[in-house]
Amino acid sequence: MPPEAAHPGRILRYVDALKEAVIQEMERDPSVFLFGLDVDDPKGIQGSTLGLQQRFGRDRVFNTPLSEDAMSGMAIGAAMAGMRPIHVHIRMDFLMLCMNQLINMAAKAHYMYGGSVKVPMVVRSMIGKSWGQGAQHSQGLHAMFMHVPGLKVVAPSNAHDAKGCLIAAIRDDNPTIFVEHRLLYPTEAYTPEAPFTVPLGKGRVAMKGDDITMVGVSNMVVECLRSAELLAEVGIRAEVIDPISLVPLDVDTIIASARRTKRLLVVDNAWTCGGASAEIVARVFEEVGSEAGIAVKRMGFMPTTCPTTPALEALYYPNPGTIAETAHRMVKPKDKSWRPDPERAKLAYQSQFRGPF
């Protein structure tokens, strides 16, 4: 978890940490502005943009039409001209409408203009599940952007890192895809009040252990930590790593852990085929080679479209129970199968979550 000892801070919700980061950067730097569909709504993107237009005015915080491609082009042009835009998308799914702008323009401009052009922009994009969001509103598409040189991709899992990563991304001179899982918004963590940055490209050991290394992406860090608690009840000590940043990726921290535990389980908030989990496993094996004797396993969405019903969601998404069950098989393959009590595998914030509106 975040280093409370080094930065005691206050308890802050994830969504409030995002808002605080934007406020502090807009007060520090007049070139920062924020825009997107419904950022000026009274509910303000689950509260993360609430009151910002009243505070900074309509020139720096403004709503947009349903025109993701054109608005992305506007952001890129503004960034090239010296501004630092933050473009908010209610769903990551909607980034499919502006792929040309993000991939062929934003990601390439610095290279194509010989380093004379910078594109310092942040694209906030929400991922998530439940409440019937279904096939076109629940996807985790971060792997598509990890594929493109020139884009940075971050997916903080707690309020501390959300604030620190967002400030770092705003100050960065490269375009950054900022991935936010909606189930994380109400979660709380110790977060300093003063502005600070979390380096993009540095992961963290969230829980120490010796029997298996579990790497979680976005909210799967939370699921892995909960599964580690379940595993501890049967004598298995799992090490949980939060990569925080997917591009650049701190593969050294993962390798150091996997070398020691000899078992690596990567749990993504997306599909496994061609995904972040595949990249992490490949990078580890390129470095250590097969002779290191590390057993690997990946978990993610089932290979079909996102369902809407709770019954299917229970099968579709990894959860603390299925993660713990998989880890148990990897650590004790000769033991009879073990499955934690489903009631013990539930997470409090999941049962409390009521949706975005």
Q: 317 with 128: CB under 8 angstroms?
A: no
Measured between alpha carbons, how far is 68 from 87 in angstroms, rounded to an integer?
Answer: 10
Count Cα neighbours of 162 within 13 Å in the Cβ-side half-sphere.
31
Measured between alpha carbons, how far is 217 from 130 in angstroms, rounded to an integer?
Answer: 18
Measured between alpha carbons, how far is 99 from 106 in angstroms, rounded to an integer?
Answer: 10
Measured between alpha carbons, how far is 248 from 242 in angstroms, rounded to an integer?
Answer: 13
Which residues contact residue 100 at a Cβ distance below 8 angstroms, ignoring those fewer than 6 apart? 69
Q: Token match 């940055």: residue?
A: 197
344 three-class SS: coil
Q: Which residues are catalytic?
A: 68, 137
How distant, in Å, are the alpha carbons of 84, 119, 122, 168, 178 from that of 79?
A: 5, 5, 10, 16, 16
How distant, in Å, are the alpha carbons of 18, 50, 107, 238, 264 from that of 166?
A: 7, 17, 18, 29, 29
Measured between alpha carbons, how far is 231 from 76 in angstroms, rounded to an integer?
Answer: 47
- Phi, psi for residue 347 in degrees, rounded to 5: -105, 135
